[in-house]
């Protein structure tokens, strides 16, 4: 599919939380800046990253995340998810990173390709109109396997 000298990165985005959205977007953007072809495949909850009604409302859950330093008993209190999300968004903006929708637009403008998982779309009762306009197509797992042949694959 690609010549030997060409580099290709495929990132499988499987989680729809704010803290799991940025790693894939940052890596795809970095790859594109280095001249590496980048493809992102959104599956299961990762579809939230490209679903119009959800992509600008991603949250961070403090429960089960030991790196946040918040005990689960406290993290489960009402409002803690919103507090954690606000704190993370503040730090992201301090670093001058764009919001999710802007980041996706930058990636598409730089030549990155976005694909949604057909099975996950069907499970979540979504159709193409629900998705960010930059999504190239809805594809099945076998199609993704073909397009990711000889690529470096990251699962996030």
- Residue spans of the domains in the chain: they are 8-56+99-155
pLDDT above 80 for 87? yes
* Spatial separation of the C-alpha atoms in residues 21 and 78, rounded to whole Å: 23
Q: Which of the four pLDDT bands, split at 50, 70 and 90, describes residue 3?
A: low
pLDDT above 70 for 2? no
pTM over 0.75? The answer is yes
What is the tens place of the pLDDT at every residue in 41-75?
Answer: 999 999 999 999 999 999 998 887 777 778 777 77
pLDDT above 60 for 147? yes
pLDDT above 80 for 37? yes
CATH number for region 8-56+99-155: 3.40.1260.10
Q: Which of the four pLDDT bands, split at 50, 70 and 90, describes residue 108?
A: very high
Residue 156 · residue 14 · CB < 8 Å: yes
Nearest to 111 by CA among 21, 9, 19: 9
């Amino acid at each position: 599919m690609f010549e030997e000298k060409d580099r290709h990165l495929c990132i499988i985005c499987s989680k729809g939380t704010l803290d799991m959205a940025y790693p894939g977007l940052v890596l795809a953007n970095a790859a594109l800046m280095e001249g590496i072809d980048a493809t992102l495949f959104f599956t299961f909850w990762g579809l939230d990253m490209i679903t119009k009604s959800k992509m600008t409302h991603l949250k961070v859950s403090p429960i089960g995340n030991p790196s946040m330093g918040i005990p689960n008993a406290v993290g489960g209190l009402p409002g803690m998810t919103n507090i954690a999300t606000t704190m993370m968004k503040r730090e992201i903006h301090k670093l001058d990173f764009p919001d999710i929708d802007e980041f996706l637009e930058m990636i598409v403008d730089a030549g990155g390709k976005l694909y949604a998982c057909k099975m996950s779309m069907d499970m979540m009762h979504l159709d193409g109109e629900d998705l960010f306009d930059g999504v190239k197509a809805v594809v099945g797992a076998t199609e993704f396997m073909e397009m990711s042949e000889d690529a470096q694959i990251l699962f996030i």
